[in-house]
Structure 1
Amino acid sequence: MNSTDLPRLTVRSPADLIAAVPYLLGFHPADSIVVVALAASRIVFAARGDLTDDADTQEASTHIAAVTAQQGADSATVIGYGPAIRVTPALDAVRAALTDAGLTVLDALRVTGDRWWSYVCTEPECCPPEGTPYDPRASTVPAAAVFAGQVALPDRAALAAQIAPVGGAEMRHAAERAEKRLTGLLAAAPPTDLLGGRALRSAGLAACRAARRRHRSGKQLTDDEVAWLCLLLTHLPVRDHAWERTDGRDEDVAFWTELLRRAEPELIAAPGALLAFAAWREGQGALAAVALERVLTEHPDYSLALLLDDLLRRGVPPSRLDGWPASGLPKQPRRRRSRRRPPR
C-alpha cells in the first residue's frame, strides 16, 4: 500500500478520476485495488493494494478501510484494475469494509482495458452494461498533473527500476578499500576513545558533508566516496546525523537514490531507509515503498526501515510528524524474526 500528500487536481467525472489515479500514485496501476478518499470534496488520500486471492481479500480489505478511515475522510471511491472475475470480489469486500468503517462509498469502478464500469450506477444512459470507453488524453487532469510536477510511470516495475542496483566489480573493490580504511581508523583511535566511537562519528560527519557538497555541485561521487560513506552509515550516530539532515527536498531524494543504487548489498540498509524517509516526506509514497522493499529484502531486521514501513502501511501523512526525527522518535515496531544477520 502507498499513500501520498496529494496534488490538487480538479475531478468532475469518473473518467477524470481514472485519469488522475496514476498521478496520485506515481504510476499506472494494474491488477490493483485503489481507494481514493475525500474530506468534503477534496481528495485527501490515495492507497493501492494488489488484487489478492480470495483467502486474503477480507484481511486486505479490512486493513485498507481502517487506514482510509484514519485520514479524516468521510467518503471514498474504490477502483479495481483488471478482469471482472478478479476485481469484483475485491471491490465488493472493500466497499463493505469501508461502509463498516463509517465511510460513504461514492462509487465503485472497474477499469479493464480502455473501458470502465460502475458497480453503483445502474442507469444505462450513463453507465452502459458494455462499459464506458475512456481516453485519458481527453481529460484535462493529466496536463494539470504534469504542470504541477507530478509523474505517472508506466507501472510499478518502472518505479522499482529507478532504484535498481548499478554497482559492479569496481564498486566491490571500493567497498573492500573502505573496510581496510575503517580498520586503520579504528586502530589509530586513542585508548580513551572507547571502541573508536568518536573517531567513527567524526569521520562519518566529515564524509556526509563532503558527499553532500559534491552532489550539490553536480558532480558524481566516486566509488570510494560512496563505499566509505555507506560503510560509515552502519554506525548509528552517523546514520542519525544524516537522518536529521534529510527532509523532503528533491536534492535529498536524488542523493540517497544515487547511494542506494551504487552501494553494495550489505551496505544498502541506511541509504535505502533514508531515501524512503526523504521520499515519504516529499509525498512520494510509492517510491518510499519500493525503497523499503529493497532494504527489507536484504536486511529484514533493519529497525529504521521497519519503522518507516509501519508508517506507510498505516497511511500516516508526513505533515503529522513535521520536525521529526529531531523532535523525537516514535515507538519502533517489533523486529521480524530472521536468520539473516542484521547490518551493523
Structure 2
Amino acid sequence: MSTPILSPVALTNPAALIAAIPHLLGFHPENSLVLITHVNRRKPRIGIVLRADLPAPSQCHVLATQLMTPVRNAKAIAVSAVVVGGNDNPNDRRLVDAIRSVFAERGIATAHRLWVPHIGRDAPWRCYDDDACRGRLPDPRGTEFAAISVAAGVVTRGSRADLIASLDHDDGIDVAKRAELITMIAEDAELPNTPGAIVAAREKLAVVEKTITAMRTESLKLDNDLVVRLAVALREHRVRDACMDLDVEMTPAAEQLWLALTRMVPEPERAEPACLFAIACYLRGDGAMASIAIECARTADPGHELAAMLGEVLYRAVSPARLREITRRAGRIARLALAGAR
C-alpha cells in the first residue's frame, strides 16, 4: 500500500483516472488493486491512493476490510477501485463486489469500478457496471495530470521492482568489511547515558550535520571512512532521532544522504538511514518510496521499532502534517537529551 501526494485535481473521467495512476503512485502497477480515494464534498479532489497485490478469491473480503482503515482515516467520501491485470477476466467481479459491499456498510460510495490489463497507451479498459462504459487509454505520459506531476517534481518509475532496486546496495561495496568496521568501532563506545556517552553522541550528531551541510554546498564523496562513521553515529538513536528535527533548508540534502547511506551501509545498520529516508519521502508525499524504504528497514532489522511505527503510519494513512509533528517532537526530545552533559 502507498500514499502519494494529495492531488489538487478532481478526475472523474474513467480513462483519465486510470491514466493518472502511475503518476499518483510513482510507478506503473501490475497485478494490483488500486484504490483511489475522493475527498472534500464541496471541492472534490483525489486524496490518498492505495495499492495492494491482487488477493486470492477467498481473500477478497479480507482485503476490502483491511483497506477500510486507511480510507476512513483519510476521510474519504468515495473511492474508485481499479483492477490492473489479474487473470485477464474483467467479468470476475468478486474483488470489486467486496469493495463496494464493505465500503457501503461504512457509508462510503464506490464511484468507479474499472478493469485494465495494464496501464499504457491504447490499453483497453472497461467498467464492471456498464458494458457500454469502455475505451482505450490515452498515453499516460501526455495527459494534463502527467504535466502537473512533472512540474511538481514527481518521478514516475517503470514498476515497483524499479523502486525496490533503487535502494539496493551499490555495486562494488565490500559490505562485510564495512560491517566489521562498524562493529569494531561500536564495541569501543562508552556505556549509554553516561556523561562521556552523551558527549560522544553530540560529536556524532555534529559529524552528521557537517556532512549534510557539505552536501548542500558541494559534490561530496562519501568515502569508506565517512560512511562507517555515519553508520556508527546513526546507531545511536538519540543521534538518529535528532536528525528528525533539522532546519528546513537542510532537508533536501539530508534526504540525499539518507538515500546514499541506505545504499552503502550494511545490515542491520542500514535500517536507520532507511527509516530517515522513509520519513523524508512520506513528508513530501512520496508514499510509494516511503513504503519501499520501510520494507528495506524491516528486512535489515526485523525487530526495528521505528520501522514498525512507520509501517503503522503508512497503513493508517496518517497525514504528512501529523507525522511531521510527531518526528519533530521526537527530534527535539533527542536534542534535549544530548544537551544534558557539557
1:340 is matched with none
Secondary structure of the equivalent of 1:79? Answer: strand
Q: Which runs of 5+ in 1 are unaligned?
A: 330-344
For residues 169-209 of structure 1, the C-alpha deviation after alignment (integer angstroms, 9 at most, x for no partner) is 545434434444445554xx9xx983852243133112212
Contact 2:28 2:160 in 1 (8 A): yes
Is 1:207–2:244 an aligned residue pair? Answer: no
Deviation at 1:106, TM superposition (A): 1.0
Q: 1:65-80 residue pairs with structure 2 within 5 A?
A: 65-80=68-83
How many equivalent residue pairs?
Answer: 319
User: Cα 1:63–1:43, aligned 2, differ >3 Å: closer, same or farther?
Assistant: same
Is 1:245–2:246 an aligned residue pair? Answer: yes
Contact 1:35 1:79 in 2 (8 A): yes
1:117 is matched with 126
Contact 1:78 1:91 in 2 (8 A): yes
Is 1:157–2:166 an aligned residue pair? Answer: no
Distance 1:238 1:132 in 2: 54
1:42 is matched with 45
Contact 1:10 1:141 in 2 (8 A): no
User: Which aligned segments of 4 or more residues in structure 1 are displaced greater than 6 angstroms?
Assistant: none
2:148 is matched with 144
Secondary structure of the equivalent of 2:327? Answer: coil
Q: Which amino acid in the other structure matches residue 124 of structure 2?
A: R
1:194 is matched with 194
Q: 2:291 aligns with which of 289, 292, 303?
A: 289
User: Cα 1:120–1:69, aligned 2, differ >3 Å: closer, same or farther?
Assistant: farther
Secondary structure of the equivalent of 1:46? Answer: strand
| Greater CA drift, 16-25 or 142-151 | 142-151
Contact 2:208 2:230 in 1 (8 A): yes
Q: Which amino acid in the other structure matches residue 154 of structure 2?
A: Q
Secondary structure of the equivalent of 2:221? Answer: coil
2:308 is matched with 306
1:257 is matched with 259
Q: 1:128-139 residue pairs with structure 2 within 5 A?
A: 131-137=134-140, 139=143
Deviation at 1:85, TM superposition (A): 4.1
Q: 2:326 aligns with which of 320, 324, 327?
A: 324
Deviation at 1:145, TM superposition (A): 2.1
| Greater CA drift, 168-177 or 201-210 | 168-177
Is 1:91–2:100 an aligned residue pair? Answer: no
Contact 1:200 1:235 in 2 (8 A): no
Contact 1:23 1:150 in 2 (8 A): yes
Distance 2:226 2:233 in 1: 11
Secondary structure of the equivalent of 1:107? Answer: strand
For residues 136-165 of structure 1, the C-alpha deviation after alignment (integer angstroms, 9 at most, x for no partner) is 256332223222322221110011111111
Distance 1:55 1:180 in 2: 51
Deviation at 1:325, TM superposition (A): 2.2
Q: Which amino acid in the other structure matches residue 218 of structure 1?
A: S
Secondary structure of the equivalent of 2:101? Answer: helix
Contact 2:271 2:297 in 1 (8 A): yes
Tell me the TM-score normalised to structure 1 length: 0.84
Distance 2:310 2:117 in 1: 33
User: Cα 1:69–1:279, aligned 2, differ >3 Å: closer, same or farther?
Assistant: same
Q: Which runs of 5+ in 2 are unaligned?
A: 332-342
Contact 1:272 1:292 in 2 (8 A): yes
Deviation at 1:236, TM superposition (A): 1.6
| Greater CA drift, 254-263 or 8-17 | 8-17
Q: CA RMSD in A?
A: 2.6
Secondary structure of the equivalent of 1:233? Answer: helix
Contact 2:205 2:233 in 1 (8 A): no
1:63 is matched with 66
Distance 2:302 2:59 in 1: 23
Contact 1:66 1:101 in 2 (8 A): no
Contact 1:75 1:106 in 2 (8 A): yes
Secondary structure of the equivalent of 1:43? Answer: strand
Distance 1:169 1:283 in 2: 31
Deviation at 1:264, TM superposition (A): 1.0
| Greater CA drift, 258-267 or 316-325 | 316-325
Distance 1:239 1:221 in 2: 18
Give the % identical residues. Answer: 26
Q: Which amino acid in the other structure matches residue 99 of structure 1?
A: A
